[in-house]
């Protein structure tokens, strides 16, 4: 993927990396909201749920609009390939199924800044925890549906939906950990503009 062996090495990730990096942040955010900011466990749980739901919409639209951006020349072709094209070209490469820490830590810092700006230092913790938990869920589910053959009916359905996106119609089924959003936005089988 990269000419530099060093950059190439850091573009490959163990599937446990998102959980190891970000579940402590989720736990801290919940702890801080309840015990330091004194928001209350019920409100934190509600805010956590709202943050998780916000993640699912972010995941869907990021995959649909950014990861499948229209390619118009060599620069956008390279951006598409680095962001998502390599995954579509090599869908069984288990070392490229979750986001590398270098990129995810930068995005995490931007997310923290965004939640701070949007909610303030007192009320940001519950929504932040849910949003970050949604990201960990997304990366974990994405790895799981590629690397494993789920026996559970729900995860078998999630896997089938995602593999249809990969192998039959890359213009549909953009919700990886939230495939129900494709039914909400009517992209469960509807063709759109080509991204390649």
Domain that holds residue 21: 5-148
- Contact status, residue 30 vs residue 133, Cβ threshold 8 Å: no
Helices (H), 33-152: 41-61, 74-80, 86-89, 101-123, 125-147
Residue 187 falls inside a structural domain: no
Residue 180 lies in a domain: no
Classify residue 143: in a domain, yes or no: yes
Q: Count how many domains the chain has.
A: 1
Cβ distance 79 to 69 under 8 Å? yes
pLDDT in tens, 21-54: 999 999 999 999 999 999 999 999 999 999 999 9
Is residue 144 domain-resident?
yes
Check: pTM over 0.75? Answer yes or no: yes
Higher-confidence residue of 21 and 193: namely 21
| pLDDT tens, position by position, 82-128 | 778 778 887 887 877 788 888 899 999 999 999 999 999 999 999 99
Residue 111 lies in a domain: yes
Contact 176, 141 (CB under 8 A): yes
pLDDT tens by residue, 142-159 = 999 999 999 999 999 999
Within-domain flag for 161: no
**Residue 160 belongs to a domain:** no
Distance from chain centroid for Cα 15: 13
């Amino acid at each position: 993927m990269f000419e530099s062996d060093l950059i190439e090495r850091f573009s490959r990730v163990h599937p446990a990396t998102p959980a190891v990096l970000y579940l402590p942040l989720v736990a801290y955010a919940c702890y801080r909201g309840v015990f330091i900011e004194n928001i209350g466990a019920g409100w934190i749980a509600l805010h956590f749920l709202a943050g998780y739901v916000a993640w699912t919409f972010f995941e869907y639209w990021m995959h649909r609009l950014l990861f499948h951006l229209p390619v118009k020349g060599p620069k956008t072709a390279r951006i598409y390939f680095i962001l998502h094209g390599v995954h579509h070209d090599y869908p069984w490469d288990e070392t490229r199924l979750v986001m590398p820490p270098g990129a995810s830590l930068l995005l995490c810092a931007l997310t923290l800044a965004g939640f701070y700006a949007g909610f303030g230092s007192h009320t940001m913790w519950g929504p932040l925890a849910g949003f970050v938990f949604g990201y960990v869920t997304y990366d974990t589910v994405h790895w799981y549906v590629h690397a494993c053959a789920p026996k559970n009916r729900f995860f078998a359905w999630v896997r089938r939906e995602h593999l249809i996106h990969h192998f039959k119609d890359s213009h549909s089924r953009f919700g990886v950990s939230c495939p129900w959003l494709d039914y909400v936005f009517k992209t469960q089988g509807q063709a759109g503009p080509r991204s390649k």
